[in-house]
């Protein structure tokens, strides 16, 4: 049995952030990853999807160039080349992950499935590994809704949709969350006839109402059909096409398309771990239960990243690993419940936010003040023709402290960081009002929102 200071299960952001930090301190670390280093983000998530989304954005820019006085022929997507470029981007980043491990003498990579054989032992293939400290960071994958006939009909996920050999003529997308809306717009821009089928009353149900409404309008204007308040009854493949039975507004109907993409959430990658042999507890959805220091119910075992549920973002997973490094390597007290985790949706325009939503704040009994400013009144937005969207600030009426900020607009995922910083250091709306912003920039919308009444 091989003894290590630390065993990390999973080669994604959370696990490898801690692994590299521990190795830098001289710890002997075992990292087990049966697929690819880099986790979901590099291999099947953020990186490949954003590469495809950028190609789709260029298609849209060329298609609408006439609005800017530029005459161009109608653009045509060479899907195989689009996918090839995406694969090259992924491969370059994946190789970077492997290089960082290969040059580190204190990290041993096991490229086989790993499972618990006891509270302090892990079986990797035919080998047994032991450590006083074990981190579970195996991530999450697509959760497939239990729809009658789905398995028999066949379906796409956010992973397999990026590997298609050719584009379908039409596509049904089940779900209305972040992944669903990003993929809906992307495929629509590539010329696919897209229909979103969503049980909730609006897409992006976790977004602020104004932002969800604006997003829905933008998608519809680009040709995406959106069916909200729709219950799915069953699915079948008929003559090579998908037939989806639904009920909407009390009426049953059948929707047809060339294929269907299921984007109904995420589930933890824990089925193979045999957690029962270590005694690790999970919630009813299978996500690992942790306390505010990432500790599980078993001493010496921690969990971080998507496998614990909650906000499933790569930047959050990185911060998980960083906090764990502070705790395990430096002996510092940490609290994973006391932090600001911004979010982004990479539609075009982008959506981003941080902190409380308006309803959340009111539900907590806070005396809320809401201030908004539309991008159509921002000089840079007008100059570039990007008039959609708004900045929404949520402040505590009693002290002016910013408690939430949400944006839909061009480059929202970039300009939100000013508001993350402001909240991180307890800035007030007065601070935003008095901060000089360069003109003309998109960021002026933040200053203008602070000045609005």
Specify binding-site residues.
50, 175-182, 265, 306, 312-315
Tokens linked to 431: 């601070």
Q: Are strands 390-396 and 2-9 parallel, antiparallel or unpaired?
A: unpaired
In angstroms, how far is the first alpha carbon of the chain from the final one? Answer: 67
CA distances from 351 to 55, 206, 215, 402 (A): 19, 12, 9, 19
Q: Output b/e per residue, 53-86; b: 16+ Cβ within 10 A.
A: bbbbbebbeeeeeeeeeeeeeeeebebeebbeeb
Q: Are strands 29-32 and 2-9 parallel, antiparallel or unpaired?
A: parallel
377 in catalytic set = no
Sign of the alpha-carbon dihedral angle for 224, 227, 251, 247: positive
Spatial distance between the Cα atoms of 215 and 212, rounded to a whole number of angstroms = 5
| List 272, 319, 437, 439, catalytic entry | 439
Binding residues for FAD are 50, 306, 312-315
294 φ/ψ angles, rounded to the nearest 5 degrees: 75, 5
Name the one residue in this structure whose structure tokens are 């049953």. Answer: 252
CB 452 within 8 A of CB 372: yes
- Phi-psi group of 442: left, alpha or beta (phi > 0 → left; psi -120 to 50 → alpha; rest → beta): alpha
Query: Longest Cα pair distance anywhere in the chain, in angstroms?
Result: 70
Binding residues for NAD(+) are 175-182, 265
CB 186 within 8 A of CB 53: yes
Other beta carbons within 10 angstroms of residue 189's beta carbon come to 25
Which are the contacts of 318, defined by CB distance < 8 A and separation ≥ 6? 13, 14, 17
CB 352 within 8 A of CB 416: yes
**Residue 301: strand pairing partners:** 134
CB 173 within 8 A of CB 296: no
CA distances from 301 to 39, 132, 222, 288 (A): 20, 8, 48, 11
Alpha-carbon dihedral angle through residues 336, 338, 339, 343, given to the nearest 10 degrees: 80
Spatial distance between the Cα atoms of 52 and 87, rounded to a whole number of angstroms = 10
DSSP state of 367: -
Q: Which of 274, 271, 270, 235 is nearest to 256 (CA)?
A: 235
Q: Which residues are catalytic?
A: 439
């Amino acid at each position: 049995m091989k003894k290590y200071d630390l065993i990390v299960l999973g080669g994604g952001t959370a696990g490898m952030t801690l692994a590299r930090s521990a190795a830098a301190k001289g710890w002997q670390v075992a990292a087990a990853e049966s697929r690819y280093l880099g986790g979901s983000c590099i291999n099947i998530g953020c990186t490949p999807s954003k590469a495809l989304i950028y190609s789709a954005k260029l298609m849209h820019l060329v298609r609408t160039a006439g609005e800017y006085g530029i005459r161009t022929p109608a653009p045509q997507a060479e899907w195989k080349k689009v996918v090839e470029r995406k694969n090259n981007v992924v491969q370059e980043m994946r190789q970077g992950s492997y290089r960082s491990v290969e040059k580190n003498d204190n990290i041993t990579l096991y490229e086989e499935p790993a499972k618990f054989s006891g509270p302090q032992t892990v079986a990797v293939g035919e080998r047994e590994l032991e450590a006083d400290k074990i981190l579970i960071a195996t991530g999450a994958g697509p959760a497939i809704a239990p729809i009658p006939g789905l398995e028999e009909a066949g379906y796409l996920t956010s992973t397999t949709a990026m590997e298609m050999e050719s584009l379908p003529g039409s596509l049904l997308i089940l779900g209305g969350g972040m992944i669903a809306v990003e993929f809906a717009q992307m495929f629509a821009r590539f010329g696919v006839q897209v229909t979103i089928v969503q049980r909730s009353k609006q897409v992006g149900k976790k977004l602020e109402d104004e932002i969800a409404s604006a997003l829905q309008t933008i998608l519809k204007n680009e040709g995406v059909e959106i069916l909200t308040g729709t219950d799915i009854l069953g699915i079948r493949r008929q003559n090579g096409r998908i037939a989806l039975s639904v009920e909407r507004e009390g009426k049953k109907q059948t929707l047809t398309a060339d294929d269907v993409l299921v984007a109904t959430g995420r589930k933890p990658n824990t089925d193979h771990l045999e957690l029962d042999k270590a005694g690790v507890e999970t919630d009813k959805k299978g996500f690992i239960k942790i306390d505010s220091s990432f500790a599980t119910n078993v001493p010496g075992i921690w969990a971080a990243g998507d496998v614990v549920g909650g906000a499933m973002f790569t930047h959050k997973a990185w911060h998980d690993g960083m906090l764990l490094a502070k705790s395990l390597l430096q002996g510092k007290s940490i609290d994973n419940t006391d932090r600001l985790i911004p979010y982004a949706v990479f539609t075009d325009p982008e959506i981003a936010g941080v902190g409380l939503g308006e309803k959340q704040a009111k539900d907590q009994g806070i005396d809320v003040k809401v201030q908004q400013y539309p991008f159509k009144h921002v000089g840079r937005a007008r100059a570039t023709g990007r008039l959609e969207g708004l900045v929404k600030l949520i402040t505590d009426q009693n002290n002016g402290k910013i408690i939430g900020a949400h944006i839909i607009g061009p480059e929202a995922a970039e300009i939100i960081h000013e508001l993350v910083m402001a909240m991180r250091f307890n800035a007030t709306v007065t601070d935003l009002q008095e901060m000089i912003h360069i003109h003309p920039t998109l960021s002026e919308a933040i200053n203008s929102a602070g000045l609005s009444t």
